[in-house]
Structure 1
């Protein structure tokens, strides 16, 4: 792990501790969720899912804990900074509000010496695929996730959850051609 990744891991642990200490339900998302499940770690930020109703409280408790905070113009997240390192608190990923059920699906995983709720590999894949659109369709960014976590992903669920997206469907065809998905899924 590079120094930046080590620093981000420390930021992830600090942020997880603040959320826990303040009884704010959350789940680790993004690159560190991939890392927690055996993939490559993030090199630019830390992402957490929170409920929409907790956004203002997250900003308040993080400011109180000494983090810089920001409410950006995008209406689906709030941000905090730990010595310049970015933490995104996402409450509406891919236009789907985070609910208690969303957070209940997370599994407790050890990450950097802490046990944290981490979104499932299937959720990571669904969110990655639903983020594709005519302006953002870089399959190379989703391929490492699909390859590194393929055994943990419920591919039938991913197909159902992404069936409305032609970009997601195209990526799934590519995975079939490259034989990334387990044989029983492709049959």
Structure 2
């Protein structure tokens, strides 16, 4: 890092601490997001501003608290963004992120402390940062994609929480995780598979897919969940073009064989592909 970047970085840290102190004095819950949070959770990179996430209902109070602390402020866009300035350093006060993501209590409870200027500051957890970055990615801002990949690479993820937060944006997050896999990162298979399935469930059916296929899929899923020989409600079932494919993980080879047997009993003329793994 060059001398100028070091000076800029130190100034941004100073302004960040000043802004956080102002919001705390105003009793405004907040969390660090954006480039500074990405640098703390994933990869280090230069950023030109500070991003703080607040609740939508607190947006005006947040701006007032910053004004009282000496910041210049503006109501930039009342649908999602206000700004505050300390000299030439800009603080984005974000209350609705892209994709309608909002700072809620669940997100607040999963914040992580990061050290800024020798002090702990609440930052969004890596799971929420990953989702936000995946959703925000676009051709003119590819840094979001690579920020998210670096958070995945860091490996410190609460996968059940990530799945819960990612479901409304399943196709974006699934695409990111599949890319990470293709790039050699080691990820747990089942969460990725669940997100891919959630993403595909949102895809309108192709005209070639018949109502009979949908009914058969539902019947097979119910059988796998309720048949005492199997009792596996979390398996993936796909019926397409006279073929039934089942995927997932089970504990024993006997359970895998039972799955194939149950499917063949119900699938009629459809070919059965049993791709279930024994773990």
Query: Is TM (by shorter chain) over 0.5?
Result: yes
Match of 1:80 among 84, 87, 112: 84
Aligned partners of 1:159, 1:99: CA distance in 2, in Å?
A: 16
**Structure 1 consecutive aligned stretches of length 4 or more whose deviation exceeds 6 Å:** none
Structure 2 distance, partners of 1:178, 1:92, is: 31
Q: Which residue of 1 aligns with 2:20?
A: 16
Compute the RMSD of aligned alpha carbons. Answer: 2.6
Conserved in 1, the CA contact under 8 Å of 2:75 and 2:81? Answer: yes
| SS in structure 2 of the partner of residue 24 of structure 1 | coil
Tell whether 2:155 aligns with 1:169.
Answer: no
Give the length in aligned residue pairs: 184
- Give distance in 2, aligned partners of 1:100 and 1:160: 14
CA contact (8 A) 1:125 1:153 kept: no
Of 24, 29, 43, the match for 1:25: 29
Cross-structure match for 2:122: 117
Counterparts of 2:37 and 2:119, CA distance in 1? 13
1:142 and 2:145 equivalent? yes
Deviates more, 1:39-48 or 1:119-128: 39-48
1:133-176 Cα offsets, whole Å, 9 max, x none, are xx547555422442355212345654564454544433322211
The TM-score with structure 1 as length reference comes to 0.83
TM-score scaled to structure 2, two decimals?
Answer: 0.58
Listed as ranges, the gaps of 5+ residues in structure 1 are none
CA distance in structure 2 between the partners assigned to 1:148 and 1:50 by the alignment: 22
The superposition leaves residues 16-75 of structure 1 with CA deviations (integer Å, 9 ceiling, x where unpaired) of 111122221111111111233353154211111111111111111211211110111351
Greater RCO (CA < 8 Å, at least 6 residues apart): 1
From 99, 103, 107, give the equivalent of 1:98. Answer: 103
Q: Does 1:37 align with 2:41?
A: yes
Secondary structure of the residue that 2:150 maps to in structure 1? helix
Give the Cα separation in 2 of the matches to 1:130 and 1:115: 27
Distance 1:179 1:157, change over 3 A: farther
CA shift for structure 1 position 126: 0.5
